[in-house]
């Protein structure tokens, strides 16, 4: 099988707490937003949170 070429994305592997997966699946299903986009939003929010903390130091 040929490997998919991603231009604007990077593949990585991680893991989640088991209890986070069902709500994530439901959110992706009900909003029809792919999990990859939900992860993008979550990481962007996390980076903003920690950037604000660094600015206060």
What confidence score (pLDDT) does residue 5 get?
Answer: 86
CA distance 50 to 27: 25
What confidence score (pLDDT) does residue 38 get?
Answer: 97
What confidence score (pLDDT) does residue 56 get?
Answer: 74
What confidence score (pLDDT) does residue 53 get?
Answer: 78
pLDDT in tens, 3-57: 888 899 999 899 999 999 999 999 999 999 999 999 999 999 999 999 887 887 7
Question: 5-38 burial, b if ≥16 CB within 10 A, otherwise e?
Answer: eeeeeeeeeeeeeeeeeeeeeeeeeeeeeeeeee
Report the 10 Å Cβ neighbour count for 39: 14
């Amino acid at each position: 099988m040929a490997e998919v070429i991603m231009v604007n994305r990077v593949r990585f592997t991680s893991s989640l707490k088991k209890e986070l997966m069902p709500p994530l699946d439901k959110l992706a299903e009900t909003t029809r937003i792919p999990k990859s986009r939900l992860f993008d939003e979550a990481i962007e929010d996390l980076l903003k949170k920690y950037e604000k903390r660094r600015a206060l130091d």
